[in-house]
Structure 1
Amino acid sequence: MTDKDKWLDWAIRLQSLAQNGLAYSKDVFDLERFEEIRQIAAEMLVTPSGLPIETVKELFCNESGYQTPKIDTRAAIFKDMKILLVQERDGRWALPGGWCDVDQSVMDNTIKEVKEEAGLEVQAEKVIAILDKKKNNPAQSAHHVTKVFILCTSMGGEFVANSETLACEYFELDKLPVLSEGKTTAKQIALCFEAAADEHWQTRFD
């Protein structure tokens, strides 16, 4: 682990402790101390991120209640043993998906994200894997993230370019494009291929 990674981990831990303290503490002086700790955690991210303190606080300190991991849902859709990927605005590719909205279940969010990013109506079939992003994806995040991969069946639809994605296309496992590895890795895609080929698949998790 690099010094930058350690710095991020410390800031995340401080933010979590401060948020939990703000959620449960009743003492006015303790609340002031937890607010100060949260401010320090945000300031710790200003230098490595290069972002203004206001932006860091908006991204990093905008939640209330007990701190829990954020959920990211990803859909695996196959046709002729090729998997559907969407091209993001930076030109890289990923499984369609994104943050689970606060009013959505994992299944509903997966279906919604596919419709928004790939233009397809899908039916969610089974959970392929529930994976910790920090253990499986190279990109660091200011939030702890749990990634849920869902095998889906396309029911029809057509891609339309939108604010999030430039294109969608089916790929063979050994002919993958440049991936947005903070969102989808080749290993995760290979896992989806395994699940699609195994009718007795058991959900992987870590």
Structure 2
Amino acid sequence: MSEPDWLICAREAQAIAQTGLAYCRDVYDRERYEQLRALASRLMAGFVNAPSERIDDFFRAEQGYATPKVDVRTAVFDNRGRVLLVREKIDGDRWTLPGGWADVNLTPGENALKELREESGYIGEIRKLAAVWDRGKQGHPPDPFSCVKMFFIADIVGGEPMTSIETSAIGWFGRHELPKALSMGRVLPHQLARMFDHRAHPDLPTDFD
């Protein structure tokens, strides 16, 4: 599923403005990049029904060369072939794979295991990188920023089930028993289905794009 053209244009304009502001030295160029960022904010705000000032605050917080953000997700399964999902408080108690934004000074795999431990209480060990997907190509709801989503398959090696300040419940779900209330900004049904495929066929290559 493709993203709407307005979102692609607004995001690209913001990225050009952000990168330009990071490297320009001419006061007139800086003024032009700030105008471009303001236009990107207005365009985004017009479609997401939010004040352009609020969008502009988000964009101003992004500095340096514009690159995609990195989101990590971890799929672990029990001996009955059920996948572990957690319920996110911030998203109306909707279900998702444990995960979140990658932190600096940690590898993608370390980030995935950290999120698994923090959100579910379980300690894991990475088995494979199952997928590296561009968020915008997957059918997630529109988002102001470009994002790469990394999905790992892991085994549980310790810990015990425990909710956190971010999660309200932990559950195990079979392939045909997945909850309807998914956190669609974080995980989609076809992505979960693909994790079941990777679990059943460990020799599958990593999915990408």
In the superposition, the TM-score normalised over structure 2's length comes to 0.90
- The equivalences for 1:1-206 within 5 A come to 5-79=4-78, 80-89=80-89, 90-178=92-180, 179-206=182-209
**Cα RMSD over matched residues?**
1.9
Q: Is the 8 A contact 2:120 2:164 kept in 1?
A: no
Give the Å deviation of 1:87: 0.9
Q: How many residues align?
A: 205
Cα deviation code 1:168-195 (max 9, x no counterpart):
1110000100211221111111111111
Cα deviation code 1:23-70 (max 9, x no counterpart):
222222111211121122112223333334443233233111211111
Unaligned 5+ residue runs, structure 1?
none
Question: d(CA) in 1 for partners of 2:105 and 2:35?
Answer: 31
Question: d(CA) in 2 for partners of 1:7 and 1:21?
Answer: 21
Report SS of the residue matched to 1:173.
Answer: coil
Amino acid in structure 2 at the alignment position of 1:185: L
Give the Å deviation of 1:163: 2.3
In the superposition, the TM-score normalised over structure 1's length comes to 0.91
Q: Is the 8 A contact 1:87 1:94 kept in 2?
A: yes
Give the Å deviation of 1:5: 2.8
Report SS of the residue matched to 2:77.
Answer: strand
Cα deviation code 1:134-156 (max 9, x no counterpart):
11133111111111000111112
Cα deviation code 1:102-133 (max 9, x no counterpart):
33220111011111111111111210011111
Question: d(CA) in 1 for partners of 2:58 and 2:85?
Answer: 27
Question: d(CA) in 2 for partners of 1:137 and 1:123?
Answer: 29
